[in-house]
Amino acid sequence: MKYDGDTVKAWAGDSQWRAWRADLARFKKQGHSGWGSEGFWALTLYRMQRAIVLSKYRQALLPLKMLLTLVNKVFTVVTLINLNKNAPIGPGLFIPHGGPIIVHPDASLGADCAIHQVCTIGAGSKPGAPQIGDHVMLGCHSCVLGPVVIGNGAKVGAGAVVTSDVPAGATAVGVPAKPLGKG
């Protein structure tokens, strides 16, 4: 598959198999093999678990679900990357470095996103979880907390703590993060 971030969402649809293929293609496009990356292995485990969560044969797949849960727990302890199987993550996610990376079960990530090391996407002091659009880049050591919306094409700078919405195309930096503007 030749990776195209603009069409990957439509191509993958609801298929976790196609989303996984898009993830691998994105890693290769960025110059990584994928297979040697902790981020890619975390995505592989996530996609397998997510496929079971969405399957109409969940009961029949219970032994596999239990095995994957155990493998994922060990993997999370070793790499510190925790992509919750209940969080919808779009195709083409790129995790170039190891963890710690945490994704809250109620958070959602769009297609063609990038998460760098030491990121938290989770619940804050207000109830709810982040909704992250397509083509979003989360810099190193960034946190996205609470019921915030990060628009398509936005960037979150390194060390930023996002507690309010970030408009599409904006770059948010600082603690608390403030959008710099579009572009």
Average pLDDT rounded to a whole number, residues 112-126: 90
Q: Count the domains in the chain.
A: 1
Give domain status of residue 75, yes or no: yes
The pLDDT value recorded for residue 63 is: 87
pLDDT(94) > 70: yes
Give domain status of residue 1, yes or no: no
φ/ψ of residue 8, rounded to 5: -65, -35
* CATH label of the domain that carries residue 108: 2.160.10.10
Give domain status of residue 117, yes or no: yes
Give domain status of residue 168, yes or no: yes
The pLDDT value recorded for residue 69 is: 87
DSSP state of 117: S
The pLDDT value recorded for residue 82 is: 93
Token digits of residue 38: 């902790």
pLDDT in tens, 61-70: 888 889 988 9
Question: Which domain range does residue 61 map to?
Answer: 8-182
The pLDDT value recorded for residue 154 is: 96
Residues near 90 by beta carbon (within 8 Å), at least 6 away in sequence: 8, 9, 12, 19, 109, 110, 111, 112, 113, 134
pTM of this prediction exceeds 0.75: yes
pLDDT in tens, 144-163: 999 999 999 999 999 999 99
Percentage with pLDDT > 70 across the chain: 98
**pLDDT band of 80, cuts 50, 70, 90:** very high
Active-site annotation holder among 97, 104, 135, 141: 97
The pLDDT value recorded for residue 76 is: 86
Give domain status of residue 2, yes or no: no
97 included as an active-site residue: yes
**pLDDT band of 43, cuts 50, 70, 90:** very high
The pLDDT value recorded for residue 181 is: 60
SS3 string of 16-76?
Answer: HHHHHHHHHHHHHHCCCCCCCCHHHHHHHHHHHHHHHHHCCCCCCCHHHHHHHHHHHHHHH
Give domain status of residue 67, yes or no: yes
